[in-house]
Structure 1
Amino acid sequence: MHTRIESDSIGPLSIPNNAYYGVQTLRAKHNFSISGEKLHLSFIKNLSVIKKAAAITNFQEQNISADIAEAICKASDEIISGKFQEEFIVDAIQGGAGTSANMNINEVLAHRASEILGGTKDTYDLVHPNDHVNCSQSTNDVFPTAGKLTVLELMPHLINNLSYLENLLAQKADEFSDVIKMGRTQLQDAVPTTLGRSFKAYQSAVCRGIHHLLTVTDEMHTLNIGGTAIGNGLNTSPGYSATIVQNLANELKLPLKQANDLYDATQNADSFVQVSGAVKTVAVILSKMSNDLRLMSSSPKTGFGEINLPDKQNGSSIMPGKVNPVIPEVVSQVAFQIIGNDVTITMAAESGQLELNPFEPIIFRNLFSSIELLTNAALTLADNCIAGITANREHCLEQVERSAGIATALCPFIGYKRASEVAKESLKTEISIRTILLEKDWLSKEKIDEIIDLKKLAEGITPSINHLHSILT
């Protein structure tokens, strides 16, 4: 392999001659063999957008010449379009608060811009990664800005998939609105409800989660770009800080704004904790729903058997005919991972010191992962599970009729003590509540039928009474 020599403050290093990255990038590659994961592709793209906007702003401020600014912009556009992805070799998890990632983009753009101007990758004489590409910037404002822009890019895909899931849940709520089933609390029979009500509750929870995500994501539009190292804008020209955000907003067609307190925005990462928390909350909602689906579909002979999940694959290498609830299972596993990611993000945000949080690389690695995991999980839950669920209507109704849970509806008419006696006797003898009431002759058949109207009970409708004892026989 042909190589060239590049040097930094640490010393010289041999670089593959065809590489667009440089000495600081390769040194970081050697130092941080951690996860084997490279920088997120969207993150790289957003770093490039920032560098383009910075080049435009620096030209406007007469910090760099027109030809250098134009070359940086052209090189940035190439990376934004997807070229040179193999040149980004630093690990997603890295020390240095993201300096390695920032220098990776700086060096690639400097070398490519030099080529555009007719030079080669041998020197930085035409375009320098620090003096030109990184002009008026610091890793400390570039890196978190790229993180926020990446969240803004990834979040709409998650919102779309969750909205799709919510719509399917609404359809199932309507489809199952007349399916009477036994409601359960603490896994014990409680009172009748409908399967439609269960799915409507899932829909409402997902809707609430979407609203929460939209709320916290709005904070991602507020950037610290222009603050450079600690928020005071050191090494920027007077007009740069006032212009860079607008130029960046023009490139992305987003309503971006600069933080009111750049010191705060540079040292605190709580906005990412809020986003992670919202993503975790939705993951918990989907996992709880998945737990319910697994219970309600437990079957074929010894479980709840209230619903049927679509058969997706063989469930066992040894038990013939077994089909497992694999989609709810994978959704719960995604939730477990996201919860773990959130703990890491929380600790990383808490552990920043003084004027900078150096742990944003792990924050971004985990946050991007959480968003994408949940995006995929929401879609697979919708398409591979919710859409194909069917109800065992007769079985659900039979369970309600056999349950002692309907004794709760008797309390306003015969009192808690008598209702409890009826419930215990039904459980012990397996004789229905209706039959026991007739045998005790506490209520007439007509009144029993009026009180134990399962459709009304499922909707929470209790027959009106003027006085507790007026219907006793």
Structure 2
Amino acid sequence: MATRIESDLLGELQVPVDAYYGVQTQRAVENFNISTARLSQYRHFIWALGVVKMAAIKANHEMGLVDDKVKSAVVQACKEVMEGKFDKEFPIDMIQGGAGTSTNMNANEVIANRALELMGYEKGQYEHCSPNDVVNLSQSTNDAYPTAIKLSLIKMNYILIEHLQQLVDAFKKKGNKFANIIKMGRTQLQDAVPMTLGQEFCAYAMTLSEEIERLTQNANLFREVNMGATAIGTGINSVEGYSEACVKYLCEITGYPIVLATDLVEATPDTGSYVIYSSALKRMAVKVSKICNDLRLLSSGPRAGLNEINLPPMQPGSSIMPGKVNPVIPEVMNQICFKVIGNDLTVTFAAEAGQLQLNVMEPVLAHSILESIQFLMRGMDTLRLKCIDGITANEDVCENMVLKSIGIVTALNPHIGYKNSTRIAKEALKTGKGVYEIVLEEGILSEEELKEILKPENMIGPAKRTCQ
């Protein structure tokens, strides 16, 4: 492979001649071969790095620190990075030491070398446009890197909510379709009282729709950034007015209502916004996983389980048991949720590990949240398209369970009292007879009275039967 020679604090190093990245990125590639997750896989993070660098160069130009030619070239290079033209030039591992310095320098080098090309120079001729002195001017990794993380999370949160809303709508659609199918509700895995299958699916839709507001509220915390804080929040090597100008351009470029942190020394090591947002992802994952547990139970069987619903058959379920079909889509969604819950614990540890004026664990913190969002988006799409949309109901099974269940004795409480109802339930359990049969045998109620009381539609109460 043809190479060019670049140098840094540690000396010279060979870099692929066609690469837009430079020596510090090359060192990171060699030092951090840790995971299979590369920065190039996180399109929105790369976009955000381009946004930060564009805002910075525009602010520095406004401050009179760079000339028109350099500013124009860097802005164009940033635009191309934002558009995804150089994603393959971000090869570094998401897990890295150095508090994100490798990521920041990867962006600086790619943008500098592309700007050099635009100005008619060769890659590596940094005397005309330096990654550090121009692209990173008035910045430090400690303000540019977390700002990019926050911008990427704001953008990805909007997309995540779109995927979540589609899943909510899918549950609503099924809820309305199943609105008139009577079934037994269960508590503690025991027969409780009747409900409709529609109510069950509407409840899934409602509980997930609540997460849209939680995610939105928590993502709003990412609007506060520390640009201009530079190393530790004191603003060293930046000029007066730079922070305000940079934030102004961040708003202009993204359309997001970005604000400057009140105390940059406090904001630089603070990772509280990541902790609370990650907790919202965990909360949503817990809910989705619980729903998947329900779907697996409701579809269990087909002969020796509940068999109230049918999940779409996606693949043969066993290498030894012919005809077996497993609920593989809810199963994979469960596992995705476990990963999100684990990532939240990683975020917690990473946030707690901050020391003094910086949290150096931000790379694993950022990767954990970004990975959780990607997993959830893909998982929810898979759950919706390959499972929820194709669910059908076994209406006869649901109705027979209601009629045979001892749980319907609850409907008799207002008419014969709790003590009599308890005795009848006990008798039904002992003899195997139905509640209906025992009440008639004992002459407690007439058949007409009993039929009216035990009509399934009269037992579901005032609750809504369709999704709102």
Please give the range of the TM-score, normalised by the shorter of the 2 chains: over 0.9
2:51 maps to 1:38 = no
2:395 maps to 1:393 = yes
Q: Give the TM-score, by structure 2 length.
A: 0.95
Please give the secondary structure, in 2, of the residue aligned with 1:44.
helix
| Change beyond 3 A, Cα 1:89–1:201 | same
How many angstroms apart in 1 are the aligned matches of 2:445 and 2:83? 77
Once the two structures are TM-superposed, the CA of residue 145 in structure 1 deviates from its matched residue by: 0.7
Residue equivalent to 2:3: 3
Native 8 Å contact 2:22 2:124 kept in 1: no
* C-alpha distance after superposition, 1:376-397 (max 9, x if no partner): 1111211211111111111111
How many angstroms apart in 1 are the aligned matches of 2:440 and 2:92? 78
Sequence identity (%)? 48
* Paired residue type of 2:401: Q
How many angstroms apart in 2 are the aligned matches of 1:95 and 1:244? 27
Of 131-140 and 233-242, deviating more is 233-242
Please give the secondary structure, in 2, of the residue aligned with 1:190.
strand
Once the two structures are TM-superposed, the CA of residue 302 in structure 1 deviates from its matched residue by: 0.9
Once the two structures are TM-superposed, the CA of residue 78 in structure 1 deviates from its matched residue by: 2.0
How many angstroms apart in 2 are the aligned matches of 1:162 and 1:86? 29
2:325 maps to 1:323 = yes
| Change beyond 3 A, Cα 1:209–1:356 | same
Once the two structures are TM-superposed, the CA of residue 19 in structure 1 deviates from its matched residue by: 2.3
Native 8 Å contact 1:191 1:406 kept in 2: yes
How many angstroms apart in 1 are the aligned matches of 2:125 and 2:102? 20
Native 8 Å contact 2:29 2:93 kept in 1: yes
How many angstroms apart in 2 are the aligned matches of 1:145 and 1:421? 67
How many angstroms apart in 2 are the aligned matches of 1:460 and 1:72? 64
How many angstroms apart in 2 are the aligned matches of 1:75 and 1:163? 35
Aligned residues: 461
* Paired residue type of 1:256: I
How many angstroms apart in 2 are the aligned matches of 1:312 and 1:36? 28
Please give the secondary structure, in 1, of the residue aligned with 2:191.
strand
Once the two structures are TM-superposed, the CA of residue 122 in structure 1 deviates from its matched residue by: 3.9
Runs of 4+ in 1 over 6 A off after TM superposition: none
Once the two structures are TM-superposed, the CA of residue 460 in structure 1 deviates from its matched residue by: 5.8
Residue equivalent to 1:86: 88
Residue equivalent to 2:221: 219
Residue equivalent to 1:20: 20
Please give the secondary structure, in 2, of the residue aligned with 1:234.
coil
How many angstroms apart in 1 are the aligned matches of 2:359 and 2:333? 32
How many angstroms apart in 1 are the aligned matches of 2:166 and 2:132? 45
Of 377-386 and 238-247, deviating more is 377-386
Native 8 Å contact 1:194 1:459 kept in 2: no
Of 152-161 and 114-123, deviating more is 114-123
Residue equivalent to 1:446: 448
How many angstroms apart in 1 are the aligned matches of 2:145 and 2:44? 13
How many angstroms apart in 2 are the aligned matches of 1:198 and 1:2? 63
Native 8 Å contact 1:151 1:368 kept in 2: yes
5+ long unaligned stretches in structure 1: 462-473
Residue equivalent to 2:426: 424
5+ long unaligned stretches in structure 2: 464-468
Native 8 Å contact 1:180 1:192 kept in 2: yes
Once the two structures are TM-superposed, the CA of residue 153 in structure 1 deviates from its matched residue by: 1.7
How many angstroms apart in 1 are the aligned matches of 2:367 and 2:230? 22
Of 89-98 and 156-165, deviating more is 156-165
Please give the secondary structure, in 2, of the residue aligned with 1:431.
coil
How many angstroms apart in 2 are the aligned matches of 1:138 and 1:207? 39
Native 8 Å contact 1:52 1:72 kept in 2: yes
How many angstroms apart in 2 are the aligned matches of 1:289 and 1:192? 19
Once the two structures are TM-superposed, the CA of residue 409 in structure 1 deviates from its matched residue by: 2.3
How many angstroms apart in 1 are the aligned matches of 2:202 and 2:16? 59
How many angstroms apart in 1 are the aligned matches of 2:383 and 2:30? 40
* C-alpha distance after superposition, 1:67-94 (max 9, x if no partner): 1111111221222222232322221100
Native 8 Å contact 2:185 2:193 kept in 1: yes
* C-alpha distance after superposition, 1:320-362 (max 9, x if no partner): 2222111111111110111111110111111111111111111
Native 8 Å contact 2:230 2:236 kept in 1: yes
* Paired residue type of 2:285: A
Q: Give the TM-score, by structure 1 length.
A: 0.94
* Paired residue type of 2:186: R
Native 8 Å contact 2:58 2:71 kept in 1: yes
Please give the secondary structure, in 2, of the residue aligned with 1:7.
strand
How many angstroms apart in 1 are the aligned matches of 2:37 and 2:388? 33
